[in-house]
Amino acid sequence: MNQQILQNKYIQLLPPILALLLLVIALWDFLTDQQLITPILAIYAILLIITIILLYLQIQGQQHGNHAIKQFEKSLKGALHHFKCPNCKSIFAIKKSKNNNKKSFVLQCPTCQTHGLITPSPITIIEKIPQEKSPRTKYQCSRCGERLTLWSEGTLTSPKTQILSCPYCGTNKPLNQLIS
């Protein structure tokens, strides 16, 4: 509920707009000597309280979101890595069933199909991960049984996407796509 309130941009813009309106009224009061300073100060106090409440809710929402992501990542059994395609800049995730990556492996970007090499110690991207996720696609190596799950963050995954080699045994045969 709090996140829905904060995500509404109009509610976030309400205090500054009202403050600007009150500034205009205060200037008008000063120029015309209408004696409205007491109600104007009371409304400014109310706006200040509303702004503090909105800031508090926004901070709480961010802390809750970060905690939920950390808990999700801890619940994963295999290694989870996020990558950013150098060609189309889309972000995608790979979850492996085994914790150690013995070999580099080649895969296609799930969005634009650009081939990329993933090393045994990949660099973690430090960016905001979109909340929208594509359906997960599962793959399995026919040689060693390694399973990988691939999905796109914020975009759809192409059905033509392939993982062209196994990160566990190193075979250069494309992994089989599993039917869910």
For 127-166, b where at least 16 C-beta lie within 10 A, e where not — what string?
Answer: eeeeeeebeebbbbbeeeebbbbbbbbebebbeebbbebb
Q: Which residues pair with 146 in a beta bridge?
A: none
Token output for 114: 């650009």
pLDDT confidence bin for 111, thresholds 50/70/90: confident
Average pLDDT value over all residues in the chain: 76
At residue 51, the pLDDT reads 81
Is residue 40 within 8 Å of residue 21, measured between CB atoms?
A: no
At residue 1, the pLDDT reads 42
Give the list of residues 6+ apart from residue 42 with CB closer than 8 angstroms, or none.
none
The domains of the chain are located at 2-75, 77-180
pTM for the whole thing?
0.49
Tracing tokens 């004696």 back to the chain, one arrives at: 35
**pLDDT tens for each residue of 10-47:** 667 777 787 888 888 888 888 888 787 788 788 888 88
State percent of the chain over pLDDT 90.
0
Q: Angle, nearest 10°, between helix axes 9-32 and 37-75?
A: 160
State percent of the chain over pLDDT 70.
76
- Distance separating alpha carbons of residues 113 and 162, to the nearest angstrom: 8
